[in-house]
């Protein structure tokens, strides 16, 4: 028999026309259920920011996503000009029910849920508010000041790059566009040795090395292979290499990725693409300075992953000034390559994150994270607590597991693999 609280919950749910599935009803405590009712009574104000990172033209939501969020009963606020860099005019957002606002300050001050594409800039730190939900590509482990701002504000922050079950469209965009930028960097006018991708007459084509066979690497391979480059791919997983061989009809070369093979092949490679998420606490470089020096003058390194620690000669560049030459090798190290194909990337990326937005808004943070392990692992800070393991490991900050701070550890949780090899036992002890 149901107790009085259960009966109250059942009747309240019925009276408020709130639909709660069987699974949710089974695994939620009375306290959580009552919170859920309150959550759904609140009309969520969702804010779409105009990204301000240099060279960034993408937008986190197109008019299509705004239409669906408004249809769900939310109020959607769009900063003027947010979509212009991707070909979406303000009028298109208004037509779908959005409210235009002039400044980012208005978005942060008005909205419960704020989203953008790239990391928070220092000018945004003081605009974050307690209990405000924010969703963007934070890259927290590499940005300690940004993390501190999130903690100080006591907001609820999700780092988008960790939330993708099937790989981010941004990764595919980075791989495909990065492949082209590498070939462009080989041109004599850009400091390269001046080789054409598939050769001409009696002149040989480009020898390309792709390190990493994930979403980014396979995207790069697809472009290079289609254009007729001589492609070698390296990965630490033999199963991945077998899959890539089948995918490209055994028309690409495959090798196990290790220092021996890298040192041996680099002197004969024209352009290298780093598509590996290198551990930020690694004790050695994947490609050190001596290995860079072994490459022919005018060769190219494209660091698509853009991780400090992978390549010793790396430093971040921008679309405005994308290249530099070190040890005679052209380096292309733009951190937001997908921004160069902003319309295609925005359409694909916005569609991929919309289910997360709707789940958080409709279910609340705790239940959204219970239902989706990939979203749960992307929770970075929660009301002043660090909830991101890699950031704890790299920055030496204490952290708490999302399932513990959200009080969902006793529920049936959707599982997801860890995003990092960097582990931390530096736990915060929560008061019960």
In a domain, 421, yes or no: no
Q: Which residues contact 240 (CB under 8 A, 6 or more apart)?
A: 213, 214
Mark whether 404 is an active-site residue: no
Strands 75-79 and 45-48: parallel
For Cα atoms 158, 61, 132, give the angle at the middle one, nearest 5 degrees: 35
**Does residue 100 share a domain with residue 120?**
yes
Residue 264, H or E segment: helix 259-265
Mark whether 139 is an active-site residue: yes
**Does residue 186 share a domain with residue 228?**
yes
Residue 43 is predicted with a pLDDT of 87
Residue 1 is predicted with a pLDDT of 43
Catalytic-role residue among 51, 162, 307, 372: 307
Residue 279 is predicted with a pLDDT of 83
**Does residue 246 share a domain with residue 318?**
yes
Please name the residue that has the structure tokens 């492949």. Answer: 179
**Does residue 108 share a domain with residue 33?**
yes
* pTM as predicted: 0.87
**Does residue 273 share a domain with residue 350?**
no
**Does residue 163 share a domain with residue 88?**
yes
Domain boundary among the residues 332, 358, 381 is at: 332
**Does residue 296 share a domain with residue 224?**
yes
**Does residue 224 share a domain with residue 113?**
no
Number of domains in the chain: 2
Residue 390, H or E segment: helix 389-395
Q: Give DSSP secondary structure letters for 269-313.
A: -SEEEE-----TT-SS-SB-HHHHHTSPTT-EEEESS--TTTBTT
In a domain, 288, yes or no: yes
What are 125-155's pLDDT values in tens digits? 999 999 999 999 999 999 999 999 999 999 9
Give the domain range for residue 244.
169-332
* Structural contact between residues 311 and 303, judged by C-beta atoms closer than 8 angstroms: yes
- CATH label of the domain that carries residue 65: 3.40.50.720
In a domain, 415, yes or no: no
In a domain, 413, yes or no: no
Residue 41 is predicted with a pLDDT of 57
**Strand, coil or helix: what is 202?**
coil
Spell out, as residue ranges, where the chain has pLDDT lower than 50.
1-27, 36-39
Domain boundary among the residues 280, 300, 332 is at: 332
**Does residue 236 share a domain with residue 90?**
no
**Does residue 213 share a domain with residue 135?**
no
In a domain, 2, yes or no: no
Residue 26 is predicted with a pLDDT of 42
Residue 32 is predicted with a pLDDT of 55
Residue 6 is predicted with a pLDDT of 42
Cα separation of 398 and 347, whole Å? 37
**Does residue 153 share a domain with residue 84?**
yes
In a domain, 398, yes or no: yes
Catalytic-role residue among 51, 139, 162, 303: 139
In a domain, 422, yes or no: no
In a domain, 272, yes or no: yes
**Does residue 321 share a domain with residue 238?**
yes
Q: How many residues does the chain have?
A: 432
Domain boundary among the residues 302, 332, 362 is at: 332
């Amino acid at each position: 028999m149901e107790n009085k609280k259960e009966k109250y919950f059942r009747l309240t749910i019925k009276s408020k026309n709130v639909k709660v599935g069987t699974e949710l009803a089974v695994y939620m405590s009375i306290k959580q259920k009552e919170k859920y009712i309150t959550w759904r009574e609140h009309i969520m104000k969702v804010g779409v920011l105009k990204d301000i990172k240099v060279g960034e033209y993408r937008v986190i939501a197109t008019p299509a996503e705004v239409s669906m969020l408004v249809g769900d009963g939310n109020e959607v606020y769009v900063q003027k000009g947010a979509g212009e860099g991707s070909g979406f005019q303000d009028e298109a957002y208004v037509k779908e029910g959005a409210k235009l606002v002039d400044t980012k300050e208005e978005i942060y001050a008005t909205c419960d849920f704020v989203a953008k594409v790239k990391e928070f800039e220092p000018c945004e730190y003081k605009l974050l508010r307690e209990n405000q939900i924010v969703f963007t590509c934070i890259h927290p482990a590499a940005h300690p000041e940004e993390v501190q701002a999130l903690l100080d504000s006591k907001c609820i922050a999700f780092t988008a790059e960790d939330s993708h079950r099937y790989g981010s469209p941004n990764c595919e965009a980075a791989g495909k566009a990065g492949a082209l930028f590498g070939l462009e960097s080989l041109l004599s006018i850009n400091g390269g040795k001046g080789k054409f991708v598939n050769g001409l007459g009696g002149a040989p084509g480009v020898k390309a090395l792709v390190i990493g066979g994930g979403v980014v690497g396979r995207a790069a391979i697809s472009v290079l292979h289609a254009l007729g480059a001589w492609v070698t791919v390296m990965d630490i997983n033999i199963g991945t290499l077998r899959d890539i061989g089948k995918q490209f009809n055994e028309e690409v070369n495959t090798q196990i990725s290790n220092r021996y093979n890298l040192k041996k092949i680099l002197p004969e490679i024209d352009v290298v693409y780093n598509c590996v998420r290198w551990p930020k606490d690694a004790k050695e470089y994947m490609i050190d300075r001596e290995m860079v020096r072994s490459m022919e003058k005018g060769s190219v390194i494209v660091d698509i992953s853009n991780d400090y620690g992978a390549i010793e000669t790396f430093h971040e560049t921008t679309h405005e000034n994308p290249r530099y030459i070190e040890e005679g090798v052209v380096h292309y190290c733009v951190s937001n390559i997908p921004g160069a194909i902003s319309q295609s990337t925005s359409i694909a990326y916005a569609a991929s994150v919309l289910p997360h937005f709707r789940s958080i808004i409709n279910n609340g943070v705790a239940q959204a994270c219970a239902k989706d392990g990939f979203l749960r692992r992307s929770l970075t800070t929660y009301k002043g607590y660090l909830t991101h393991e890699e950031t704890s490991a790299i920055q030496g900050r204490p952290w708490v597991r999302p399932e513990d701070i959200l009080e969902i550890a006793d529920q049936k949780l959707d599982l997801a693999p860890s995003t990092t090899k960097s582990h931390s036992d530096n736990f915060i002890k929560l008061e019960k």
